[in-house]
Chains A and B, each alone.
Chain A
Amino acid sequence: MKNMSKNLILTLLLAIGFLSGMNAQSDLEINKVFDQYGRQKGSVLVEMSREMLEGYDFTYYKSIVTTNNQEAADLARRCLEIDQKDAKKVKQVVSNGVLSSIYLQLPQKGEYFRLVLFNETTTPERKMTLIYIESEKDSEEILKIVLKKR
């Protein structure tokens, strides 16, 4: 009985550890970009979850914009290379051999459709934008909504 209870508690503790460290995009490489550069000077990090996005088409939103941070942009590109392996590439622009834009539809995670959008502009300044979106709506529909905002 004691052993059984100990095992139960151990399992629960492991579950706690797992869930507490689990975020929406925690299984993705791009998470490193948010973690490493999100709170630095010259960066703008935004995270919004379901409660705040009520009435919108997204259930989760996370983005980062870095200005004149080549290192962050390069890390994002390396991470995207890994994350795009199982993803559907909607759009990709490569300028002078360097990825400047990409839209990725990631594999569905549970009931959520996931999108990653990346863009880097070099003029007037080097600005990298990386967005991760989760939605209960189909990724293509979400992409249309985002693009419509233009």
Chain B
Amino acid sequence: MQEAEKLIERYYEGETSVAEENLLCEYLSGKNVPARFEAEKAILGYFASEKKKKSVWLIPNNLKWIASAAAVAAIFLAILFSNQPSATSYAYVDGKKITDKDKIFALAQTTVGNLMSGMNEVEIGLENIQSGQTIESQLDVFAGMEF
């Protein structure tokens, strides 16, 4: 009891350590506490209950980081899936966006056709050289000339 009184005195002086305050709290929250300690009981009891309330709602630091990492992972997955094919099939004609599947296919076919017709021109030219047609046609220029 005397010990409690000394602790209370030191508590009011602001000299108690955390361990001592805990000890005091334990004593005051116990049974058979003298009535003269009611004021201290109320004060320390209030702070103790506040501490408890806070600790109930406090999110552990680890959990915060896990939650942050999970949020980042969710964004990561969202971006990853948004890069999937469905989002990247389109065409632009003269700067105008086209998303119609059939039109996109038709444009792709035309493009491949363009490429192939271009290659055809070159190949016909090469074939002509190989068969001698080009050379013959060039020699024809001189055919009518008199010597």
Residue of B nearest to A6 (CB): B65
A41→B94 CA distance, assembly (Å): 4
**Known: A48-B108, A49-B85. Contact between A9 and B68, CB under 8 A?**
yes
Q: Is the CB of A129 within 8 A of B104?
A: no
Kindly state the separation between the CA atoms of A93 and B124 in the bound complex, as whole angstroms: 13
Question: Which residue of B has the minimal Cβ distance to A9?
Answer: B72
* Given known A-B contacts A9-B72, A12-B76, A49-B85, A131 and B111 have beta carbons under 8 A apart: yes
Assess A5 versus B92: contact at CB under 8 Å? Given A12-B73, A129-B111.
Answer: no
Q: Which residue of B lies closest to A91 (CB)?
A: B119
Chain A residues whose CB sits within 8 angstroms of the CB of B66 once the complex forms:
5
> CB < 8 Å: which of B83, B107, B121 contacts A19?
B83
Given A1-B62, A51-B86, verify A146-B79 contact (CB < 8 Å).
no
Which A residues are CB-close (under 8 A) to B75? 16
Are the C-beta atoms of B69 and A50 separated by less than 8 Å?
A: no
In the complex, how many angstroms separate the beta carbon of A124 from the nearest chain B beta carbon? Answer: 11
What bracket does the count of chain B residues touching chain A fall in?
A: 35 or more
Q: Contacts A5-B68, A51-B89 known; A43 to B112 CB distance under 8 Å?
A: no
Q: Are A39 and B95 in contact (CB under 8 A)?
A: yes
A87 to chain B, nearest CB (A): 17
Q: Is the CB of B101 within 8 A of A119?
A: no
Q: Is the CB of A46 within 8 A of B69?
A: no
Question: Chain A nearest CB: distance from B91 CB in Å?
Answer: 5
Interface string of A53-82 (1 = CB under 8 A from B): 100000001010100000000000000000
B32 interface residue, CB < 8 Å from A? no
Shortest B4–chain A CB gap in Å is 39
- Total number of A residues with any Cβ neighbor in B under 8 Å: 47
Docked CA distance A61–B65 (Å): 41
8 Å CB contacts to B: which residues of A1-56?
1-2, 5, 8-9, 12-13, 15-16, 19-20, 22-23, 38-53
Does A147 lie at the interface of the complex (its beta carbon under 8 Å from any beta carbon of B)? yes
Listed by A's residue number, 19 A-B pairs whose Cβ atoms lie within 8 Å are A1-B61, A2-B65, A40-B94, A40-B95, A41-B94, A41-B95, A43-B95, A45-B92, A46-B90, A46-B111, A47-B88, A49-B88, A51-B89, A93-B122, A101-B118, A131-B115, A146-B112, A149-B112, A149-B113
Q: Which residues of B contact A (CB under 8 A)?
A: 61-62, 65-66, 68-69, 72-73, 75-76, 79-80, 83-86, 88-95, 101, 104-105, 107-122
Q: Footprint of B on A, CB under 8 Å?
A: 1-2, 5, 8-9, 12-13, 15-16, 19-20, 22-23, 38-53, 61, 63, 65, 93, 95, 100-101, 117, 119-121, 127, 129, 131, 146-147, 149-150
